[in-house]
Structure formats: C-alpha cells, structure tokens
C-alpha cells in the first residue's frame, strides 16, 4: 500500500536534526535577472484593478479579459521566479526589493519594500495560480451578471492586496495588505448587495475582521517599542534576545489578528455568512488564500513565537477547538457552501494546530495550507458549478443524483473529496498525517483530537457527496441541471489534478521539489521525537477515515434524504445547525452591550457634548443680550459710568499707595 | 510757590463741571460744563508749570485750548443740526437713535 510510499516521503526524507532559520538577505539588483521584475507581481493586478475601476462602464466589453490577464501573467512570473529561486543556493534565497521610503518619522522607518523567500514564493504561487484559475472560472460564472467588470476589478484588487500581504518586507506593509484583503473581502462578499443577507454578511465579516486587526496593530506597536523597527529582518534578528513576556504579548496579539482573519474560534462566525458572496469569491478568498493569511502571519513570525511558548500553546488550543467546531458545523449544515465553509474552518484549525507545535510544525502548517488551497478551491468551484446548474439553489436537500447530468463536476468533486479526506496517496494524506504525527509526538491529546477530526472530515465530505451527487433527484420542479460552460470546467479540472497529485508533487515523489526541505530555511525545523512508529498513526488515521466514510454512507447514501430537514434530531445536530450557538452568544455578550454602548454614546454626544457646546453658545448670547441693556443711548449715563470708573481707578491707586 | 490753593480751586471747578455734565439736560449747558472741566485741568497745568519754573505745562494748556476750540466747532454744529430737526437741544433725545 502507499503507507511505505508516505513513510519514504515524510519521515524518510527529513533528516532528524534541527534547522535554524537563515537570516541573510540579498537585494534584487544584486540577484539580477528575473528578480528585478518582482514588482510586476504587485503592479499588474493593481494596474488591472485601477483601470477597471476608473474606466467604468466603458470597459464592460473587455474588462473581464483584462482582469484574467492581470492574474495569469503574475502566475507565469511566479513560476519563473520559483525556478530562479531553486537555482540559487539555499542560504541566498531571500531576495528583497526596495522601492521607496514609505513612512519615516524620527527613528521609525517603514520602507515600501518586498521580500521574496521560499515561504512567500509558496504563497505567491498558490495565490496567482489558484487566483488565475478562479479568474478564468469567473468569466463563465459571472457571464450573465451585469456587474461582471466590477467583479473583476475587485478580484484584481484582492490579488494585489494579497500579494502585498505575503511579499511585504515589514509588518507595517503587511498590515496594508492585510487591510487591503479585508476591504476586497468586504466588497466581494457584498457584491450582490441588493440582497439584504449579503450586505449584512459583508458588514459582519468586516467588523469581526476589525477586531482581529486591532491585534495586529497592537503587535506592530509593541514590536516598534521593543525592537525599534518593524522590518522582518530586524525583528527576527533581535527576537531571540528579547524579553519573553513581551514576546508572549506580541505573540498573543498576532494570534488575535490571525484568529480574526482565519475565522478561528471565537472569531469564526463571519465565515459562514460570507458564503453569501459569489462562489468564486468563496473559493479564492474564503477558502484558498485570504483566510489562510493568519497561518502565514504566525509562521512568518516564527522567530517571535519561538520565544513565546505560552502564545504557541494558545495557538494550539485555538486550532484544536476550531478544528472540531468547524467539522461539527460542516457535518450539520444543509447548505453546500456553508458545509464547505465549516470544513475550511476545520482545515485551518489543522494548520493552527501545526503552527502551535512550534518549529516541529511550521512547515507542515504551510504544507497543509497549500494542499488545502488546491482541494478546497476545487470543491468550492464544484459547488459553484452545481449551484449554477440548480438555479442558485444552495440547499443540498434539493440536490441529489447529479452525477448523471454533471459528469465533469462530479469527477472533479470526487478528486477534491479524495484530496481532503486524507486517503492515501492524495493531498491530505501527506500533510494531515505529518500534522498528526507532530501533534502526537508533543501531546497525546492533541494527536487524538487531530485523528478524530480526520474522521469528521471524511464524514462531512461523504455527506456532501452523497446528498449532492447520489441518491434520488430531489430537485425543484423548475430545475433543469446541465453541465457548466468550458471556462468553468477547465479550472476545476486543473485544480482537481492539484487535489490528486499535489501531495505527491510537494513531497518530491513527482518532480524534484520537496516543500518541507524548501521551507525549512525560513521557518526553522526541529524533528519531533515520535514514540510510536509513524506508520501506526497512518493506519489508525486511515481506519478512522474509512469508518467515517462508511457510517456516513450508510446514513446518507443508502437511505433517502428528506427535502425538509428533520426536526427530531440529536442535540449535536441541532447545535451544528445553529453554528454551535456562537452567533447567539456573540449577540448576547458582545453585540447587545455594544448596541447599548453606542446608544449611550449617542445620548451622551447629544446631551453631554452637544449640550456643552450649545450651552456655551447660548450662555455667551445671554451675556451679550444682557450687555446690550447697558447701551441705553443716554449719554449722561455713559458719562456717569466714566466718572464712576475714574473714581474706581483713583480708589485702586490710592489703596495701592496706602498699602 | 505753593500750588495747593490752585489744585483745590481746580478740583472744585472740575467737580462742578462733572456734576453739570451728569445732571443737566440742555446740550449747550452740558457743553459749557465740559469746557469748565477742561479749564480746571488747564489751571492745574499752568499752576504746576509755574511751580517747576518751566513752560511744559503752559504748552499743554495751549494744546488743550486749541483742541477744545476745534471740539466746540464740531460739537456746536451737531447740536445745531439736532436742534433744527427736533426743535430741542435736550441731550437725552438722541437716545432714540439706539433703535
């Protein structure tokens, strides 16, 4: 079986020593060649967005083509850059390019500079390739939408911001990209803002992200106070000598930021609502790229987290909780996209668990992130294709038996299913097993939870497959499902190749690139000492996954699924349908007090502040009115006042002289 | 020389003038009272100039007289105008201008 293959790929290839991160940096002009054109990665999508926003309706006819071009060219450039980076020796793979001094005040200097290293190139590849495919998909998906050109403008804006996020050379510039993707996410979730739910979902996503963003800004301020710089190079070089309390604070602030952006518990509630956006947006932003930015932030800041074991443990705890919570929600939701969103939360939970393991897990977090980017984008595009065919019906209870009419979608969805469920030798089998092994080596409990979550993953995915593609047709009367157009199918086909072969490619079974060896110089690595043989964990996981698949198939594949959701269900299902009541407690504990606070503030503003201002104004007017009384027009009275004033002055002088 | 007597006389003249300004309603009389106050000042200037034996005070007294003469011209003209329009030289009448 492929267990041997995997052992070869994972434990066999990794030398059991410790790798320290390499901090050397080379400027782009020194590196020469293609590296001098790194800036195009950012400039092209930004240019596309600017043209499409400014040109407005005039570009309706060709806007989507420009948008696609501005996403596909960076993808080609990224591949070229990867090849160029691979050609360089390991210690000189960090290339920086300086554009201009962005902000400098006193000793604070944030440059507008980008940094390409083995970690960021992985993200750049994921963003541009998956992004490019989703741009192509959107051409077909949004074909009938009157706002297609605007949609592409926003997608380009998102690409530019996301690339800035992963390419930034300092935390302040990263923050700019971080806010940029937040803005693009807000715009795109609310793209159909004439629907109330979409507008509300966009606002919710934005507000909950802001809570996390506060964490990032606090972290940046703490870094500046501690290190006097926010540049990656300076911070990472100084971090090992820094005070561990400060590092813990920075780590926790960064975690808050990551929690908001990556929809981790307790800031996860926006992700399910964000599914109101167009499906390509869900695939690109809320599955493959933006929501994984939190993982990037933590792994990028590994030098800080290495000094903050407490913060790392909190990362691990957040990851474990979200991993189970997301899978739980994914098992209970009836809307295809919401179930997938639950799955996204759960998989990012896996990445957080890996990142929370410290140097033993950073590489696996990124590994799983890349795998997830491919299979989850594939699954989302598949769900978009299904919804496209079913008149935008989202509820899986009205699907069924679609494998007959949508063969390509069905097959690509199966590829995604294989990729996510962890069956060897597909994507997750490599990345998830590595995470399980690393977790088990540090903490038996964490290992057990990750294995259990692997079973849940198989459960919700089997449920989705069974309800959507198998069983009897439960369609609406007016539904005439049909296969999607070519522009939508090809991106799905390519991504499903990624979902099937991505893992084999990433560990070097196909090709000669090993993502783990590749990332180690940036993230550092420490071989985890596993007390049990690696293959035993793989077997346990495999068995758990198979049990999950079989049990779910017996429930949803072999019995008829009712169109109305059953009401007599277990507490667990009820809680899952209600998204574990997080919305309820957010509402009761945060939203209502917030509303009361704002109401009180409005009252205070009206009565207190405005009252003070108006009071001063009316007081002065009153004094003025009173003073006009003295202007009687009787000149003799003026003369009397003058005499009185004179006498008063004389009296004052006299008293001053006397004493 | 001792200026006390002059100063007392000037004070008495000034007070008479001031009271005249405050209590009389006829513009002409008020005017004359103002002149009396000015001349009380002139008297002190001249007396102190005599005491110090220089001409400074006398110079200022001349200035005061000239300014007073100019002022009288303007003031009387105003009083004449008011009298022509309102047939009265009462100093309280112009308070109607207030509104």
Q: CB B97 to CB A635 under 8 A? A: no
Q: CB A640 to CB B95 under 8 A? A: no
Beta strands in A480-571 (DSSP E): 525-526
pLDDT in tens, A166-175: 999 999 999 9
Mean predicted confidence (pLDDT) in A410-432: 88
Q: How far is A384 from A388, CA to CA, in rounded Å?
A: 6
User: Is the pLDDT assigned to residue A397 strictly greater than 60?
Assistant: yes
Interface test with A, best of B95, B97, B99 (most A CBs within 10 A): B95
Q: CB B18 to CB A643 under 8 A? A: yes
Percentage of residues of chain A with pLDDT beyond 90: 47
User: Is the pLDDT assigned to residue A10 strictly greater than 70?
Assistant: no
Q: Is the ipTM of this complex over 0.85?
A: no
**B34/A contact by beta carbon, under 8 A:** no
Question: Shortest Cα distance from A595 to chain B (angstroms)?
Answer: 54
Taking one residue from A and the other from B, the number of pairs with CB-CB distance under 8 angstroms is: 27
**B94/A contact by beta carbon, under 8 A:** yes
User: Is the pLDDT assigned to residue A532 strictly greater than 90?
Assistant: no
Q: Report chain A residues whose CB lies below 8 A from the CB of B18.
A: 643
User: Is the pLDDT assigned to residue B92 strictly greater than 80?
Assistant: no
pLDDT in tens, A436-485: 999 998 888 999 999 999 999 999 999 999 999 988 888 888 888 888 88
Say if residues A274 and A205 touch (Cβ distance below 8 Å).
yes
Say if residues A367 and A328 touch (Cβ distance below 8 Å).
no
User: Is the pLDDT assigned to residue A633 strictly greater than 90?
Assistant: no
User: Nearest CB to B98: which of A631, A636, A640?
Assistant: A631
Question: Shortest Cα distance from A619 to chain B (angstroms)?
Answer: 24
**A643/B contact by beta carbon, under 8 A:** yes
Q: How far is A641 from A638, CA to CA, in rounded Å?
A: 5
**A640/B contact by beta carbon, under 8 A:** yes
Provide the token pair at A232: 């990656």
Q: Which among A284, A227, A199 is positioned nearest to A107, based on CA atoms?
A: A227
Say if residues A446 and A439 touch (Cβ distance below 8 Å).
yes
| Predicted local confidence at residue A401, as pLDDT | 84
CA A148 to chain CA centroid, nearest Å: 24
Q: How many residues does chain A have?
A: 659
Determine which helix (DSSP H) or strand (DSSP E) holds B52, and give its type and residue range: helix B27-52
Q: Report chain A residues whose CB lies below 8 A from the CB of B21.
A: 636, 639
**A650/B contact by beta carbon, under 8 A:** no
Q: Report chain B residues whose CB lies below 8 A from the CB of A629.
A: none
What does the mean pLDDT of chain A come to?
Answer: 88
pLDDT in tens, A76-104: 999 999 999 888 888 888 888 988 888 77
Q: CB A631 to CB B91 under 8 A? A: no
Q: Which of the four pLDDT bands, split at 50, 70 and 90, describes residue A2?
A: very low
First-to-last CA distance in chain A? 112
* Domain parsing of chain A, residue ranges: 1-25, 31-307, 314-564, 578-616
Chain A's closest residue to B96, CA to CA, is: A633
Q: Which of A277-281, A283-287, A314-318, A504-508 shows the lowest mean pLDDT across its residues? A: A504-508
């Amino acid at each position: 079986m492929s267990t041997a293959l995997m052992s070869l790929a994972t434990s066999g290839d990794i030398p059991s020593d410790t790798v320290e991160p390499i901090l050397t940096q080379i400027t782009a002009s020194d590196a020469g060649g293609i590296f001098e054109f790194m800036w195009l990665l950012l400039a092209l999508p930004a240019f596309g967005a600017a043209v499409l926003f400014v040109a407005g309706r005039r570009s309706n006819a060709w806007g989507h083509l420009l948008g696609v071009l501005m996403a596909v060219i960076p993808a080609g450039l990224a591949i070229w850059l990867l090849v160029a980076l691979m050609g360089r020796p390991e210690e000189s793979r960090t290339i920086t390019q300086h554009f201009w001094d962005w902000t400098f005040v006193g000793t604070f200097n944030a440059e507008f500079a980008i940094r390409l290293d083995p970690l960021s190139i992985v993200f750049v590849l994921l963003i541009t390739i998956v992004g490019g495919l989703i741009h192509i998909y959107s051409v077909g998906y949004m074909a009938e939408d009157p706002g297609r050109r605007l949609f592409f403008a926003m997608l380009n804006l998102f690409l530019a911001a996301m690339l800035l996020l992963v390419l930034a050379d300092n935390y302040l510039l990263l923050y700019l990209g971080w806010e940029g993707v937040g803005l693009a996410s807000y715009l795109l979730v609310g793209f159909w803002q004439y629907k109330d739910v979409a507008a509300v979902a966009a606002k919710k996503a934005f507000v909950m992200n802001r809570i996390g963003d506060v964490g990032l800004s606090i972290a940046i301020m703490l870094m500046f106070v501690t290190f006097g710089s926010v540049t990656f190079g300076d911070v990472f070089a100084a971090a090992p000598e820094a005070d561990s309390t400060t590092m813990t604070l920075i780590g926790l602030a960064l975690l808050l930021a990551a929690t908001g952006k990556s929809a981790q518990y307790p800031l996860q509630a926006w992700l399910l609502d964000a599914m109101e956006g167009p499906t390509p947006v869900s695939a690109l932003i809320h599955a493959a790229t933006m929501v994984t930015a939190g993982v990037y932030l933590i792994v990028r800041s590994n030098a800080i987290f290495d000094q903050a074991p407490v913060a790392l443990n909190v990362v691990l705890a957040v990851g474990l909780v979200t991993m189970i919570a997301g899978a739980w929600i994914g098992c209970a939701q009836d809307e295809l996209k919401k179930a997938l969103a639950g799955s996204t939360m759960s998989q990012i939970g896996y990445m957080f668990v890996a990142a929370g393991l410290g140097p033993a897990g950073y590489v696996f977090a990124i590994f799983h992130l890349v795998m997830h980017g491919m299979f989850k984008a594939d699954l989302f595009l598949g769900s978009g294709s299904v919804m496209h065919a079913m008149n935008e019906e989202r509820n899986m209870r009205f699907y069924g038996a679609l494998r007959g009419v949508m063969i390509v979608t069905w097959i690509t969805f199966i590829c995604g299913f294989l990729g996510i469920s962890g069956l060897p030798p597909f994507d997750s089998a490599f990345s998830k097993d590595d995470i399980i092994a690393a977790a088990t080596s540090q903490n038996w409990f964490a290992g057990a939870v990750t294995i259990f979550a692997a079973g849940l993953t198989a459960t919700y995915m089997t449920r989705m497959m069974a309800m959507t593609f198998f069983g009897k047709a439960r369609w609406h009367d007016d539904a005439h499902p049909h296969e999607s157009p070519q522009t939508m199918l090809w991106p799905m086909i390519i991504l499903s190749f990624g979902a099937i072969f991505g893992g084999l490619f990433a560990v070097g079974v196909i090709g000669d690139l090993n993502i783990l060896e590749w990332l180690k110089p940036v993230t550092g690595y420490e071989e985890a000492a596993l007390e049990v043989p690696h293959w035993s964990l793989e077997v346990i996981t495999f068995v758990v996954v198979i049990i999950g698949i079989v049990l779910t198939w017996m429930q949803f594949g072999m019995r008829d699924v009712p169109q109305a959701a059953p009401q007599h269900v277990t507490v667990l299902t009820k809680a899952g349908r209600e998204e574990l009541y997080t919305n309820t407690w957010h509402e009761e504990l945060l939203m209502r007090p917030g509303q009361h606070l704002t109401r009180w503030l409005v009252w205070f503003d009206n009565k207190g502040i405005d009252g003070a201002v108006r009071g001063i104004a009316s007081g002065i007017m009153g004094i003025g009115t009173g003073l006009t009384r003295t202007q009687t027009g009787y000149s003799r009275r003026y003369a009397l006042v003058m005499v009185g004033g004179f006498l008063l002055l004389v009296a004052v002088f006299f008293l001053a002289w006397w004493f | 020389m001792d200026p006390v007597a002059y100063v007392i006389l000037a004070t008495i003249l000034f007070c008479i003038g001031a009271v005249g300004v405050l209590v009389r309603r006829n513009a002409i009389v008020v005017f004359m009272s103002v002149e009396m106050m000015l001349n009380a000042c002139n008297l002190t200037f001249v007396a102190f100039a005599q005491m110090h034996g220089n001409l400074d005070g006398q110079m200022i007294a001349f200035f005061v007289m000239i300014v007073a003469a100019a002022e009288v011209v303007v003031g009387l003209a105003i009083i004449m105008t008011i009298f022509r329009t309102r047939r009265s030289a009462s100093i309280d009448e112009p308070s109607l201008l207030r509104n």
